[in-house]
Structures are given as structure tokens and as C-alpha cells.
Amino acid sequence: MERAIFAGGCFWCMIKPFDALPGIHSVFSGYTGGHVENPTYEQVKSHQTGHTEAVEIIFDPEQISYKELVELYWQQTDPTDAFGQFEDRGDNYRPVIFYFNEEQRQIAEESKQALADSGKFKEPIVTSIEPAVTFYLAEEEHQDYYKKHPENYARNAKRRKTFIENVWLEK
């Protein structure tokens, strides 16, 4: 098994796209990139810890590649928005691909460059690519949020869903 960590706004909305794919062992909501050990949701939300809401994906590279995960990641985000995603604003919602080794870094960098070269966006691709650091699991209430609270999830994911349909899905 290997690990991938992606930040793309609210972690509630980042679980579902990866959750049911073949080769995915688990997807967890959590916090990474900050300076406080074992942060809470309230602390992260206060913008005082430096953490970003993210998802940690445990996957079998024999069934799904890291490159495939990165490609799916792009399609869940607005890669031109560095200060949050959709209705979620602030540094704790910034888009980041966290890498664990040189191969992951290279895949992420090449994918980002390919997206920039594609002309799909007029604005620059600003998603960060950073080395992975400690990932802290979010509280239980934030795990599998889309399954536990489907109505609230749908309401929170509305702008994201519209963006994905308008920008990423072929018409």
C-alpha cells in the first residue's frame, strides 16, 4: 500500500470522489502542514495552526496509480484559486498536493505543467506541491461525512459540483 495526501478545500467534499475506486483501501479526513500537534477542527478553523484540511488516501498501486489519483484530484478543484476552494475561504482550505517521495513529486509537477500547458484555464495554476508532513486524523464526526450527512454534504458541495460540471466534464 502507498499513501497520497491531497488538500482541495473542505475535506468533507474530497472523500467521496476517491472513496469507492478500485484499489483504494481507505480515505481519511485530517489536517496537515501546520505547527500545532494534534490540532482540533476548531483550532484549524481559527487559522492559528497553519494546518490545511486534507485527505489521506491509502491505495494499492497495483490497482490504481498515483498518477491516476493526481488526475482525479485536479478534477475536484479549481487549481487557479490559491486562497481556498469554492465557498471555503482561507489558508486552511488552500489546494495542495503533498508528496511522499521523489516519484510522487515528479508525477505531481509534470501533471501540473501539463494542466498549465493545456490552456484549459486562463489564470495560472497555483496549486502547491509540497513535501508531506505529519497528517493528523480529524475528529470522527468528519470521517465519511458525505455518508453520515448527505443533505448537508450536498448543500456544501453545490458550488464545487457546479464548477466540476462546467469546467471538467466534457459537454
- pLDDT score of 94 more than 70: yes
Establish whether 10 is a catalytic residue.
yes
CA 6 to CA 13: how far, in whole Å? 12
**pLDDT higher than threshold 80 for residue 170:** no
CATH number of 2-169, picked from 3.30.310.80, 3.30.1060.10, 2.60.40.150, 3.40.50.880:
3.30.1060.10
The residue whose grid cell reads 459540483 is 161
Rounded CA gap, 2 and 5, in Å? Answer: 10
What are the residue ranges spanned by the domains of the chain? 2-169
- Classify 170 in phi/psi space as left (phi over 0), alpha (psi -120 to 50) or beta: beta
In sign, the C-alpha dihedral spanning 122, 13, 86, 59 is negative
Could you tell me what percent of the chain has a pLDDT over 70? 99
From 4, 10, 27, 64, active-site residue: 10
Q: What are the tens digits of pLDDT across the range 11-47?
A: 999 999 999 899 999 999 999 999 999 999 999 999 9
Q: What does the pLDDT look like over 119-163, one tens digit per residue?
A: 999 999 999 999 999 999 999 999 999 999 888 888 778 888 889
Total-model pTM: 0.94
Q: Strand locations in the chain, DSSP E?
A: 2-7, 24-32, 52-59, 84-85, 88-89, 96-99, 128-131, 135-137
Pairing of strands 135-137, 24-32: antiparallel
Task: Check whether 171 has a pLDDT greater than 70.
Answer: no
- For 3, the 3-state DSSP assignment is strand
Cα separation, 8 vs 84, whole angstroms: 8
